[in-house]
Structure 1
Amino acid sequence: MSSFEISTPLSQPVLFESSIAALNSDLALYSTQDLQDPLTAIISPRGSSSSEPVLINSLEHGIVSTPGVPLLTGSIALTVTSTADIVNPNDGVLTLREAIAQANMFAGADAINFDLPDGPQIITLTSGELRITDNLTMHGLGANRLTISGNNSSRIFNVDDGSDSTQIQVAIAGLTIADGKASEGAGIYNRERLTVSHSAISGNSASFAGGGIYNSGSLTVSHSTLRGNSTTIFGGGIKSDGALTVSNSTLSHNSAYYGGGIDSGHTLIVSNSTLSHNSATYGGGINSDGSGILTVSDSTLTHNSASYDGGGILNRSTVTVSNSTLSHNSAGSGGGIQNSGTLTVSNSTLSDNSAFFDGGGITNNNILTVRSSTLSGNSVSYDGGGLFNRGTVTMSHSTLSGNSASYDGGGIANGGMLTMSNSTLSSNTATSGGGIFNSSYGSLAVSNSIVGGNTASGEANEVTNRGSFISNGYNLVGQNDNVGGFITTATDLVLQGGIETAIAPLANNGGLTLTHALVMGSAAINTGDPTAVAATDQRGVFQAGRRDIGAYEVLPNITVDTLVDEDDGNLGPGDISLREAIARVSSGGSIYFSNALSGGTVQLTLGELLINKSLTLQGLGADQLAISGNSTFRVFKVDDGIDSSQIQVAINGLTITDGRAMDGFTTTSGGANQGAGIYNRERLTVTHSIFSSNSAYFGSGIYNNGDLTVKNSILSGNSAYYEGGGISNYGTLTVSHSTLSGNLANSAGGGISNYYGTLTVINSTLSGNSVAYEGGGIYSYSGAVTVINSTLSGNSATTGGGISNSAGTLTVSSSTLSGNSAATGGGIYNYAALRVGNSIISGNVASETSAELGNSGNFISNGYNLVGQNGHTGGFVTTTTDIVLQRGIETAIAPLANNGGSTLTHALVAGSLALNAGNNALIPVEITTDQRGAVSRILNGRVDIGAFESSWQPLPQLTTSDVTLAEGNNGSTIATFTVNLNAAANQPILVDYTTMDGTATAGSDYIATSGTLAFKPGETSKTISVVINSDTTAESDETFFLTLHDPINVGLAVNQVVARILNDDAPITLLEGSNGNDTLTGDNVANTINGRAGHDIIEGLSGNDTLSGGSGHDVVYGGDGNDIINGNSENDTLHGGNGNDQMNGGSDDDVIIGGAGADTLTGGTGNDRYVYSALDEAGDTITDFINGSDILDLRELFRNLNYQGTAPIADGYLRLVRVGGSTQIQIDAKNGAGFITLVTLNGVIPDWLVIGQTLLFSPA
């Protein structure tokens, strides 16, 4: 007995009934008679004469079934564990062939799964096809991981239960089915109900039909590919004689005689699929024949070819094509479609198809309806570039453009019956009949259509007519002498200019197909049939009122009434999206929003919104309606793709938020990294809008490379990875009455970056913007920037907290920059050319240099500016009309606040130095208000400095004058300054005053004085007295300054005056010694005595003397007064006497005795001895005590103090105190009453002093 063995444990127990059961037509199942446990199941061929059973497996706990009853019921799940194609019950694995055979045994919906090693696996058939005879679901590992190969020798799957009266249901998923070979259905042969999904059918070949699949049952193919399959006759990819549905799939590079992709004689539905590069003699993409019904929707047929008829589709049945594209297909006849049945084409495009004989786009031999479709760029070597007709054609709301024929009919060649309405034929070319060629067999009727702008090299640009032609009126045809055979009626219009005066080039104007939009002023607008029932145009746009001529209806206004982001072509009530409105509104039209959308957000899900025509987008208000990029897409791209011209777009009353343009460094057109809110290359105006939470590499809120105006808008909380947190400008940008706040950039321009562009900021505020590097508020490189009537406050950067001008020109006028911060240039940093006038630049902060302005370029003050406090102005080089603030910024301006108008401002406080301190001549004539927009720019007759004009009345002004007085000889003299108000005030007035040294020194020449003057209401004059120290020293005239500052309720007309102290002492007496040993004695005035050579004795007496010993061993006595004593060369003895003397021993070994007073002692070179004898000599400083050479001699002092000890340091009588790098010699001579510093040794530390050598103190 021959046997067929299957080996694997069943997944669950199965039940038998009594004896023998018929399994199927080929196999019978037996059982052992002793019913031993486990029961053994055996299979032998039905009808075999052998009684020898064959063991195939143990079926646990079973019983025997009766004849005629199905043996096994229920569903099982089988797992294939081997790629072998064998049947072996003893190998412990399950092959696909074994699994299918076992599944066929069970009457139920079984499942086959796969458990195979990782990586691509191939099951190569060696025992013929795999037949499936029962309900089955087969789950592969994925088409890229598991291939079932026919080994180019057999079919792969045969799905057939052998019964015509029943249909099993089979599903195959996740497989590649390849290299099958058969006469029909080399990959799959199907007579049942089969679904193939997520699979690949490739490289299969059939000698007769269905290279990939043959279907005579019911077949569904989804999410799959059929590639490289072939057959000699029918259906390279699929041959279907049953019901076939193909969805979300691709058929490519398949070939056949009929139907390179698909040959169908039954019902065929193709949706969301692509057929490309298929080839045949007839029907390169699809051949639909006989009684079949073909529906193609939302699909693409491209680059298919047929040697004879129908490059894309050949139809001999009934075909409907909708929402689909047929392009670049080719054939002998009907490059896109050849129709010999009934064909309807709607909302579809046939473009760039070609044919040799006729019908580059379509050849019609029977019945054809074309609605809302475009035939463009199709070509033919003979006749009918777009359409060739031998049958009956009805065409409406369609466009034929750019088609060409070498002979007749660039757009249409008609030899049958053709009716055309509400359509546009333009830019088609031929030898005869550039638009239409109507042969002697043809009957042509045209209504409400544009036939213009076509060309013919021979006869009739628009229409050549040899047959029957009827104009049903309301057509727009080409210029006189060019209309050819178009016989006009009274209601037809003839173009008076070129076609460009009527229609725009073919473009995406909304809808599913390209159209020719009507241009402004077109003769076709509102000149169509006035009796026509209102309907939609080619795009699906509905417009009430009189119809336009042609396929395009001008829609000047459209109202968005849904928040859903869609473009489904449905423009019914409640279903007009913003995306659909932008696409369909006419150039120059307006888009509005239904009030029902108030408070809502349009969340973009289909990508950015492209605006490529002039239009106005009128929102409900920025607080009422938002357009969101969903943190995934840019929101708006404004670009018509034409560099030579600019469309005009206006956007008003929207919030534009959560846009994203962060495509790394991918180089793509349209600025993938730029302008998350708006990317603009046109002339765009944005008003009353808000930009927030947008992120891009450049220009997060807006990127501009066109002409942009932003007005009454807010850009806040946007962030740029590189530059332009709010706006990045490469074109022309004007920002007015707007706020940029809280924006962030990593590189340049937290608020605005300007590269090579022109930027004007007027009546606007930039606050709280920040950047890691340059230009917290504004950064400009090689552009021209003007800031006028504006405020920059609280911005931060490393360089240029308010503005960084790296190259180009920057002009700041009537503006306020305060509270900005940076490491360098808190207010502005300028590398290039900067002019500032009538502006406040004060209260900014720099952690390193130049709080207000850092400048390494060309800076010019136009004057009348209020700049930061002295020492903080940085690179601001003031003119005589500039004012330097003497007190804090709070005395000039108030904090940033809402002071009226659309932006925040710094108001001027009462008494601000900016009040009425500007220059009216610096205000441009077009500037009539301050930043707020409602307050006149000039109040009280003179403009204020900065962006804010105050209504405060001018403050009274304080004045004072210089003072000149004689010094006097004894005691003191009083310098009196009179401070006057120019007008009495009705409120208290305060002003502080402080003296400052000039050539006079506070303390010795005058007494430093400061205080506050208080004027009661009505008082107009006060005095300030400064004490001058009188002396008898003959000296030069000296000066000091009186400064008024920190005024309250008053202005300072003069803030600083000078006091000149005139010397009134007798001239200095000059004594000169000879070169011998002289005795020189001065008088009681200031003497200058020079000993010259010799051993001299010099005595200055009283007075501030200058005594010089000259050469020789001199003895010099200073006497009273503050003397200057120089020993000069050789060994001198210098006595300072009373007074604060300056003594210098000069060269050699000198003895220096300072005497009473705080003296400054310098030994000079040599071994010098400093001698102290009394405590009234305390307070001296020795400037050059040389350790090891000089001696500090305190012996006489200790003797006079009656010190009896020998260790004064240990006794607490003397101590050496280190102060920095110096040592103070301190003595407590009153037994605990307190130490006094006798002398300070500069540059000497206590450790260097050696008791008994450099420091002598023993009375002995």
Structure 2
Amino acid sequence: MATITVTNIENNGDGSLREAIAKAKSGDTIKFARTLANKTITLQRAFIIDKSLTIDGANAPGLTLSGNKEKVIFKLAGKGREFTTRNLKLTDAFNDYAGGAIWAQDSKAKITVVNSEFKNNIAGQGSAIWAKDGANVTVINSNFDGNEATQRGVDSAAGAISVFNKSQLTVQDSEFTNNKGDAGGAVGTIFTEVTIENSTFFNNESRRFSGALHSDGASIPNQERYYKGSLPGDSKGGEIVIRDSHFEDNRTRGFGGGFGVWGYDQDFVTIDNNTIINNQVTKDSQGRAKGGGARVSGFVTIKDTLFANNKSDAEGGGLWYQGEVPVKITNSNFSGNRAKGATGKGLGGAIFNNQWGSETKIENTTFEDNYAGSEAGAIYTPNNRSITIQDSIFDKNKAGNSANSQQSNLEIFEDITDGSLRLKNNNLLQGSGKNDSFEQGAGNDILLGRNGRDLLKGGDGNDSLQGGGDNDTLWGGKGNDFLEGGFDDDRLDGGAGKDTLNGGYQNDTLKGGKGNDHLNGGAGDDRLKGDRGNDTLFGGNNSDRLEGGAGNDSLEGDAGNNTTWAGNDTLIGGSGNDILEGNAGSDFLNGGVGKDTLSGGKGSDRLQGSSGNDSLDGGVGNDRLWGGRDNDLLNGGEGNDTLLGQQGNDYLWGDQGSDLLKGGSGNDTLVGGKGNDQLVGEVGNDVLIGSTGRDFFKGGRGKDRFVLGDTKGIFYKADSNQDYATISDFQHSQDVIELKGKASNYHLSATSKNGISGTGIFTTKGELIAIVQNTESSELNLNADYFNYI
């Protein structure tokens, strides 16, 4: 396999790209002379790719191939053609039919695009890349901006990329901005397996459905109701995966403001760790507007995902889904979504569930500040299908009819039932050892249940209730009461007043009620809810669930059965400024609404700040931290942690271990700390600060600052050339690299280390500080404005 070098920008002739393609044999690589950097090759006709080739512009940064607004750039001819582009800019291509920049007109093409840019291409379908019939398309670290599909009423008319019919599409570390289409503003697939990872979709628009991404099945449906059973359905389904990605300000009509996924009954759809914000779906010609953030179907799993401030003019402000197979939503947040049109009507501020043959399970998920114009500020389901909700928060969701949810099965703390004995004044009652029922009136009473299943109701006054053995129910009523469950599985409700509740042994349920209460679960797997007031909740041993409720609460999970076996606790702060401490064990902490402080302690913990300016500390262990809305402080602590700032201007500190930090939207500050860290700014003007180890920086969209030293010294000089930073997406037109000292303390040189190539920043003593990836040393100048010295 040979390498051929292009030496000029002529359209044909000696040294031209056209001549190089003609001379190349299958498997060869075409490169460009360094003198072609920042120049443009303007096409007079398409390049025909009739062999397997790689075309790499790394030696000529900024090289552009232009279709001159009238030509296809690369046309792949022949079945099974393999074609790779690297480090190229493809612009201004045009094709009435399909595939302006890369058009694979035959089946089973294998297309790989790395570190390339597609801008202002126009075609009927897939103006940047178009492939079909068993194709395999991979896109890595590339940008798609201002591409447009012009055909109308065609399901494969996506703005930038169209791939369909038993094909595969993989997109990683890429950005799609300002693209327009008819079915998917940026990306569209039909009967194709899809993987989208670590990518950003911003300000894309679709005329018909699916604002940024449209996926019509990972396989061909085999059910009669789809396409009237006229297709040769697949015996098994495929997968559609959207992971670690950001969808913002995308819009469409009809279905899926952010994206639309039509998984069929045999398809598996995974939506994992995404941010879906400020997307919108308006009504189409039939009056449909479904899923402001997303519209999905299939075997759907949604986890660790934020749906915020999305809007639908009719149904499902955040999410709309349907089908006959299960849907599961875990560890997610629905905040500020709206379902309301011009008429003021709308259903399901957060979710519209249109399932007709299966169930939905929702766990550890927060619904806050969502709104529907008509019914169900949080969740609407019209088909009388079961929704099982566990360990979740519903706060300040509103609707025109004041319904937070409709036809949903919720786990709640139930009211205590009536007893059979009612007494007034100050009494001491002791049970018989069987199943007793005592109800007190006014006065300071003492009720002792002893053995048996007892029902004790204190009534007014400062009462003392002790359940004793067996499964008891204790209700303090008004006054400052003391409730102790004793042995077995007890239910304690303090009622109004400043109460103290001790669960005792086994698995107890404690509810503080009104007032500033103190709850201690004791031994066993307990469930504690502070309810209203400034409460203190202490889980005790084993695996507990703590909910602060309204007020400024303090929650502490504590340890497990002994000093070496910790409990896996769930702590939910609710509204108010709360303090949550997980201590030992693998805990889940959710601060809820308010300015909260969360400490995971030992174990692999999950901390969610939710709304408010929160402070999260993972402690010891491999933890996952989500800041949620507003301006948060996240500290990973010891261990290999994942920190996600999400919305707001956040401060993320990895501390010790090899950590992953992602800022999300907003102007964030990311500090890696010790270990080999990954810092990803995502959307906004971010500051990425290194330290020691081998770190990876990606600023994302916005004006970013990469800090490689401070007033105390130069980073990455403690371990010879084994510790350094990699800056993957430096844009000298807007980003800044910050160093200690002055320009004369450093020099630039081409370098390649551990598979990473680019411009090395070295001290004058030869110590490698950083590699600016995919950049020639001639492109950078240490005296330029994009280097800042302190």
The alignment's TM-score, normalised by the length of structure 1, stands at 0.32
Q: Which has the bigger relative contact order, CA under 8 A and spacing at least 6?
A: 2
Larger Rg: 1
The alignment's TM-score, normalised by the length of structure 2, stands at 0.50
